[in-house]
Amino acid sequence: AQSVTQLGSHVSVSEGALVLLRCNYSSSVPPYLFWYVQYPNQGLQLLLKYTSAATLVKGINGFEAEFKKSETSFHLTKPSAHMSDAAEYFCAVKYPGGSNYKLTFGKGTLLTVNP
């Protein structure tokens, strides 16, 4: 079955350090890919999306993600973590040929930023 995997349910970084959150998809055809962020007790907010244009996608709050077909990955990065980045991050995919309405979400990665 097609799926999306987020490696690491919890990532902890120091303020100012590089943030790297991993996401891998399983599909022979590149899907549309998304990263969402969820702050405590809130809904999800879109950070960025990849829809087969540029492989390096820039999002809000200084985040970016690179689509790598050879690695079936779409990892999320930020050069320098800020305390306000502490949240849960979800990778999501929409597969070509699948339902036009469904996104499949990963299980999420909780990012902790230490002072």
Partner 1 sequence: SQTIHQWPATLVQPVGSPLSLECTVEGTSNPNLYWYRQAAGRGLQLLFYSVGIGQISSEVPQNLSASRPQDRQFILSSKKLLLSDSGFYLCAWSVGGGDIQYFGAGTRLSVL
- 109 and 6 Cβ atoms separated by less than 8 Å: yes
108 sits near partner 1 (criterion: CB under 8 A): yes
Closest contact distance (angstroms) between CB of 3 and partner 1 is: 11
User: Cα(37)–Cα(51) distance, rounded to whole angstroms?
Assistant: 18
Quick one: which segment of 11-19, 66-74, 75-83, 99-107 binds partner 1 (CB under 8 A)? 99-107
Closest contact distance (angstroms) between CB of 60 and partner 1 is: 13
Residue 7, amino acid: L
User: Cα(66)–Cα(84) distance, rounded to whole angstroms?
Assistant: 22
Q: Which of 7, 18, 20, 46 binds partner 1 (CB under 8 A)?
A: 46
**Residue 8 backbone class (left: φ over 0; alpha: ψ -120 to 50; beta: rest):** left
Quick one: which segment of 18-26, 45-53, 64-72, 77-85 binds partner 1 (CB under 8 A)? 45-53
CA 64 to chain centre: 9
44 sits near partner 1 (criterion: CB under 8 A): yes
Q: Which residues bind partner 1 (CB under 8 A)?
A: 9, 32, 34, 36, 41-46, 49, 51, 90, 94, 100-103, 105-108
